[in-house]
Amino acid sequence: MKFTLLHKDPASRARCGLLETDHGPVRTPIFMPVGTVGSVKGVFHRDLKEDIKAEIILGNTYHLYLRPGLGILRQAGGLHKFESWDRPILTDSGGFQVFSLSGIRKLTPEGVKFQSHIDGSRHIFTPENNVDTQRVIGSDIMMALDECCPGDADYRYAEKSLVLTQGWLERYAARFRETEPLYGYEQTFFPIIQGCIYPELRKRATEHALQFSEVGIAIGGLAVGEPVDKMYEMIEIVNDIIPEDKARYLMGVGTPVNILEAIERGVDMFDCVMPTRNARNGMLFTWNGCMNMRNAKWEDDFSPIDPEGTSFVDREYSRAYLRHLFVSGEMMAAMIASEHNLAFYLEIVRRSREHIEKGDFAEWKASVVPKLGQRL
């Protein structure tokens, strides 16, 4: 697997690159739709590829390990075959889910013990078995097991957490080197930088993680409760240290504005549940701001969902109809909104690439950001 830097914006740190995998190319900056359990909720792969133009999607180790489980995934020949997706897949380690979903969990140097949110069964994730699990899933990009430190953690906790994450990373990397892909195509793994909102910890975490980075590296533990300015500050600090030839993945971010701000600061890859989760709750993102489609004001607005939208749903359905579907609890509402939001997110990164190549990214970004934050 290879990452190549192609263009740099003259007026900012924004950049364009190409990530080449055995399942095809990924042009950066890129947004990766989240398909936690082997499905980008409510969206057909055909639309994901042809309408939304997704180049890579996510899967989640925690969820897939619990269900369908490793036996089925192995029998299926890996996640790509199981879900019929022939483009690249990145899997999160599941560390985040252990903390956000599992009620009962215990952190030890060995790993993290937790109970399934599905049936209460007891499990342990260690760096070693997490590598093995992601080998079975067969993702193109595997994420290291880490502890996602809360955004409001004090320095003492954040440092302790970082030390744990670093120890896990060393073991994860060792296991990765000792093992081989199971399905005949290359896998790589991204280490994750933690350190909460403390510059010294972030710097230390970056230097350490870089020792284990082959093609890319991730910035974790952001957009988890800290002020947004701190998030941007941390991105700047770590991107100052990361060499230009490494792909930089900002985990779990974010709003359209967050993404543009991060691209401007040199981030290449993003994932976030926001376009799909908020879609299911009636929220649409557009270049002119966001709309809550459940609002009564759309009741008799028969204009297209988004006149500037790139998806077929934007022209095919009216706002009044989409509101009706939401109010009626129809599943088409979630499907149409998810289709729109993902197409919009992919359009954001597509236009970003275009403007970075042209060399006017910073100027363009400054012109679109004020409108993106509006409410319609």
Partner RNA sequence: GUGCGAUUAGUUCAGUUGGUAGAGCACCAGAUUGUGGUUCUGGGUGUCGUGGGUUCGAGCCCCACAUCGCACC
State the minimum distance, in angstroms, from the CB of residue 64 to RNA.
10
Binding residue for RNA, selected from 15, 28, 82, 97, defined by CB under 7 A: 97
Site string for RNA, 140-169 (x = CB under 7 A): ---xx-x-x---------------------
Find the catalytic residue in 146, 271, 306, 314: 271
Which stretch, 8-16, 17-25, 35-43, 69-77, contacts RNA (CB under 7 A)? 35-43
- Helices 199-210, 155-178: inter-axial angle, 10-degree rounding: 10
95 touches RNA (CB under 7 A): yes
Q: Taking the complex as a whole, how short is the minimal distance between the CB of residue 313 and RNA, in angstroms?
A: 14
Under rule CB under 7 A, residue 286 binds RNA: no
C-alpha span between 12 and 111 (Å, rounded): 40
Question: What residues between 293 and 352 interact with RNA by CB under 7 A?
Answer: 294-297, 327, 331, 334-335, 338
Contact window for RNA (CB under 7 A) among 87-95, 176-184, 208-216, 237-245: 87-95
C-beta of residue 151 within 8 angstroms of C-beta of residue 224: yes
Determine contact, residues 349/30, Cβ cutoff 8 Å: yes
CB of 332 to RNA, least distance (A): 8
When asked if residue 46 is in the footprint of RNA (CB under 7 A), the reply is: no
CB-nearer residue toward RNA: 184 or 269? 269
SS (H, E, C) the chain: CEEEEEEECCCCCCEEEEEEECCEEEEECEEECECCCCCCCCCCHHHHHHCCCCCCEEEEHHHHHHCCCHHHHHHHCCHHHHHCCCCCEEEECCHHHHHHCCCCEEECCCCEEEECCCCCCEEEECHHHHHHHHHHHCCCEEECCCCCCCCCCCHHHHHHHHHHHHHHHHHHHHHHHHCCCCCCCCCEEECEECCCCCHHHHHHHHHHHHCCCCCEEEECCCCCCCCHHHHHHHHHHHHHHCCCCCEEEECCCCCHHHHHHHHHCCCCEEECCHHHHHHHCCEEEECCEEEECCCHHHCCCCCECCCCCCCHHHHHCEHHHHHHHHHCCCHHHHHHHHHHHHHHHHHHHHHHHHHHHHCCHHHHHHHHHHHHCCEC
- Spell out, one character per residue from 226 to 265, where the chain touches RNA: x when CB under 7 A holds, - when not: --x----------------------xxxxx--x-------
Q: Is 240 a catalytic residue?
A: no
Find the binding residues for RNA in span 109-128 (CB under 7 A): 117-118
92 catalytic per annotation: yes
Site map (CB under 7 A) of RNA, residues 193-222, x = contact: -x-----------------------x-xx-
**Residue 101 Cβ, how far from RNA at the closest point, in Å?**
5
Q: Does 266 bind RNA (CB under 7 A)?
A: no
Site for RNA in 62-81 (CB under 7 A): 63
The only residue of 3, 96, 198, 317 in contact with RNA, by rule CB under 7 A: 96
> Site for RNA (CB under 7 A): how many residues?
59
Burial 132-142 (b: 16+ CB within 10 A, else e): ebbbbbbbbbb
Q: Is 271 in the site for RNA (CB under 7 A)?
A: yes
Q: How far is the CB of 338 from RNA (least distance, A)?
A: 7
Member of 74, 277, 324, 350 binding RNA (CB under 7 A): 277
- Please give the span between the terminal C-alpha atoms of the chain, in angstroms, as a whole number: 43
CB 291 within 8 A of CB 298: yes
Active-site option among 47, 92, 306, 314: 92
Round to whole Å and give the CA distance between 349 and 73: 32
- For RNA, the closer of residues 271 and 306 by Cβ is 271
Q: Which residues bind RNA (CB under 7 A)?
A: 34-36, 40-42, 58, 60, 63, 92-93, 95-97, 100-101, 103, 117-118, 143-144, 146, 148, 192, 194, 218, 220-221, 223-224, 228, 251-255, 258, 271-274, 276-278, 280-283, 292, 294-297, 327, 331, 334-335, 338, 375
- List, by residue number, the catalytic residues: 92, 271
